[in-house]
């Protein structure tokens, strides 16, 4: 069989799935994507895209389609933290991190990928319900959500890119409990209709208290997005009853106009993400003819800020490995995992520390966070004064604008 004839089933039309499909097509494979949803989703929350993700976008040939939204101001002048007395101070925001992340909405990345998968077959409202691996092929039983109709199809490779609660992972590698680590934290992310009162449109606002935090991410040409995150040991309980009432209860006592604005806006938001926080830990991301990529394989969670970046990189690298080993699938998957694993491990570990920056675990951690951010901001201020161009220029330089 020639490389041209090899077919891969990609499960999931997210960043990882589309990146893998483009990577595979470049390697001479024919990818077929199945997506559970009836149509392609758009919009989404703020995502910071780091240099490795931007490089992967270049490698995948989607960089020219990728719309970025960094507010055009110097580092440290568009992010504010609000203390317990309601005082507003200049802060280092998400975009001021080393690496100068590019500000995008998740939908911006998916739209860029979508433009580049023209010609790839995409079947909506379709999910795999059984996967049987043989030496020469993987047999997949697919189900159409509307009709309930099922049919079997064979593929040379099945790529599970179906997110943190991957059904491919559950079917092939075992139950969720074996791979999902619980972080005793919740998130709610959505787009605001308008900026919080008294702030400029592209300002970012950080209100990080012990065990609960509200973040507003300002964007250049779009209303900001909001993130509510809190720590709790009773994850199950968080999914019962009204979400809005629960969030109002969790954030009660944080008497700040921005918090009120965010909670009121949630009521009117057309959609939102509300979920528990986990990491996916797996000793191996592939077996025989089935491989996982993106959140399905290594979900680092939002605190790492590297999920979209690693999904792009993982998909692009998978295609490159298959191209390098056209006649040896096992060698390709080995090489892919060996190349990617150190990057993933590093950022999975870093996420624990970053969680403290997003939502401190205690009053002491909150105070420490405040001191560290203040110090970092002063250092950054001195660097900006001595260097030509600040970190914001770094974020906007290179291939992406
Ligand atoms: C609030 C928040 C903030 C974030 N911030 C950042 C950030 O700043 N930087 C960053 O890099 N990352 C960030 N991330 C993480 C990033 O968004 C994810 O890591 C990335 O989008 C994962 O992409 P994916 O394709 O692996 O999975 P997903 O986006 O989950 O896509 C999976 C796709 O598979 C489909 N699917 C699921 N089950 C099935 C099935 N059985 N059959 C068929 N299809 C199925 C789904 O409908 C979906 O389309 C953030 C995440 C959140 C929630």
pLDDT tens digits, one per residue of 128-144? 999 999 889 999 999 99
Residue closest by Cα to atom 28 of ligand 1: 163
- Mutational pocket test of ligand 1: of 9, 225, 307, the residue with most ligand atoms within 8 Å of the beta carbon: 307
- Classify domain 3-63+107-179+279-352 at the CATH topology level: FAD/NAD(P)-binding domain (3.50.50)
Residue closest by Cα to atom 50 of ligand 1: 302
User: Helices marked H in 2-50 — which ranges?
Assistant: 15-26
Residue 398: pLDDT band (50, 70, 90) is: very low
For 207-221, write each residue's pLDDT tens digit: 999 999 999 999 999
The overall average pLDDT reported for the chain is 92
Residue 161 Cα to ligand 1 midpoint, Å, equals 9
For 295-311, write each residue's pLDDT tens digit: 999 999 999 999 999 99
Tell me how far CA of residue 260 lies from CA of 223, 312, 325, 331, in angstroms: 17, 36, 55, 54
Residue 163 Cα to ligand 1 midpoint, Å, equals 5
pLDDT of residue 135: 84
Q: Could you count the other beta carbons within 10 Å of the beta carbon of residue 200?
A: 11
Residue 230, pLDDT above cutoff 50:
yes
pLDDT of residue 76: 55
Residue 15 Cα to ligand 1 midpoint, Å, equals 7
Residue 400, pLDDT above cutoff 60:
no
Taking the CA of residue 50 as reference, the ligand 1 atom at the shortest distance is 11
Strand 180-191 to 30-34 pairing: unpaired
Residue closest by Cα to atom 12 of ligand 1: 307
Read off φ and ψ for residue 81, nearest 5 degrees: -110, 150
pLDDT of residue 377: 84
pLDDT of residue 378: 83
Residue 396: pLDDT band (50, 70, 90) is: very low
- CATH 3.30.9 for the 73-100+185-273+355-396 domain, yes or no: yes
Domain boundaries, the chain: 3-63+107-179+279-352, 73-100+185-273+355-396
CA 114 to mean position of chain CA atoms: 17
Of all residues in the chain, the percent with pLDDT exceeding 90 is 85
- Mutational pocket test of ligand 1: of 54, 97, 162, the residue with most ligand atoms within 8 Å of the beta carbon: 162
For 1-25, write each residue's pLDDT tens digit: 444 579 999 999 999 999 999 999 9
Q: How many whole angstroms separate alpha carbon 278 and alpha carbon 356?
A: 15
pLDDT of residue 388: 46
pLDDT of residue 390: 39
Residues with CB under 6 A from ligand 1: 11-17, 34-37, 45, 47-48, 106, 127, 161-163, 167, 187, 189, 227, 273, 294-296, 302, 305-309, 311
Q: How many whole angstroms separate alpha carbon 44 and alpha carbon 275?
A: 14
pLDDT of residue 389: 44
For 141-182, write each residue's pLDDT tens digit: 999 999 999 999 999 999 999 999 999 999 999 999 999 999
Those residues whose C-beta lies under 8 Å from the C-beta of residue 218, and which sit 6 or more positions away, are 71, 78, 79, 195, 199, 200, 201, 202, 203, 204, 205, 224
Closest by CA to 398, choosing from 41, 100, 119, is 100
Q: How many whole angstroms separate alpha carbon 81 and alpha carbon 208?
A: 8
For 323-370, write each residue's pLDDT tens digit: 999 999 999 999 999 999 999 999 999 999 999 999 999 999 999 999
Residue 73: pLDDT band (50, 70, 90) is: low
pLDDT of residue 391: 37
Question: Facing residues of 286 across strands?
Answer: 291
Read off φ and ψ for residue 252, nearest 5 degrees: -65, 145
CA 303 to mean position of chain CA atoms: 10
Residue 14 Cα to ligand 1 midpoint, Å, equals 6
pLDDT of residue 383: 74
- Mutational pocket test of ligand 1: of 22, 47, 54, 176, the residue with most ligand atoms within 8 Å of the beta carbon: 47
Residue 354 Cα to ligand 1 midpoint, Å, equals 19
CB 159 within 8 A of CB 294: no
Comparing 3-63+107-179+279-352 with 73-100+185-273+355-396, is the CATH topology the same? no
């Amino acid at each position: 069989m020639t490389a041209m004839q090899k077919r891969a089933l990609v499960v999931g039309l997210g960043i990882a799935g589309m990146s893998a499909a483009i990577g595979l097509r470049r390697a001479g494979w024919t990818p077929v994507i199945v997506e559970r949803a009836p149509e392609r989703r758009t919009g989404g929350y703020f995502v910071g895209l780091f240099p490795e993700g931007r490089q992967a976008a270049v490698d995948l040939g989607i960089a020219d389609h990728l719309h970025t939204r960094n507010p055009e101001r110097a580092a440290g002048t568009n992010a504010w933290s609000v203390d317990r007395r309601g005082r507003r101070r200049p802060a280092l925001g998400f975009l001021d991190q080393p690496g100068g992340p590019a500000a995008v909405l998740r939908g911006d990345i998916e739209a860029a990928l979508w433009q580049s998968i023209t010609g790839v077959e995409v079947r909506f409202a379709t999910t795999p319900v059984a996967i049987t691996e043989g030496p020469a092929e993987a047999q997949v039983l697919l189900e159409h959500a509307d009709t309930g109709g099922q049919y079997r199809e064979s593929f040379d490779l099945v790529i599970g890119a179906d997110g943190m609660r991957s059904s491919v992972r559950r079917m092939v590698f075992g139950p969720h409990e074996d791979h999902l680590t619980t972080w005793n934290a919740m998130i709610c992310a959505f787009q605001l209709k308008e900026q919080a009162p008294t702030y400029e449109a592209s300002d970012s606002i950080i209100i990080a208290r012990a065990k609960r935090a509200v973040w507003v991410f300002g964007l250049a040409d779009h209303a900001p997005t909001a993130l509510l995150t809190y720590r709790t040991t009773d994850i199950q309980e968080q999914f019962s009853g009204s979400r809005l009432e629960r969030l109002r209860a969790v954030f009660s006592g944080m008497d700040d106009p921005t918090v009120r604005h965010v909670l009121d806006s949630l009521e009117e938001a057309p959609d939102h993400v509300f979920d528990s926080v986990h990491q996916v830990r797996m000793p191996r991301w592939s077996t025989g003819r089935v491989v996982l990529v993106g959140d399905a394989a290594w979900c680092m969670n939002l605190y790492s800020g590297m999920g979209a970046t690693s999904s792009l990189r993982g998909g692009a690298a998978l295609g490159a490995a298959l191209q390098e080993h056209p006649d040896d699938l096992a060698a390709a998957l080995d090489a892919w995992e060996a190349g990617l694993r150190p990057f993933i491990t590093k950022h999975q570990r870093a996420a624990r520390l970053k969680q403290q920056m997003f939502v401190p675990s205690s009053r002491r951690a909150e105070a420490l966070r405040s001191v560290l951010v203040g110090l970092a901001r002063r250092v950054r201020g001195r660097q900006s004064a001595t260097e030509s161009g600040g970190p914001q220029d770094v974020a906007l330089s290179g291939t992406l604008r």
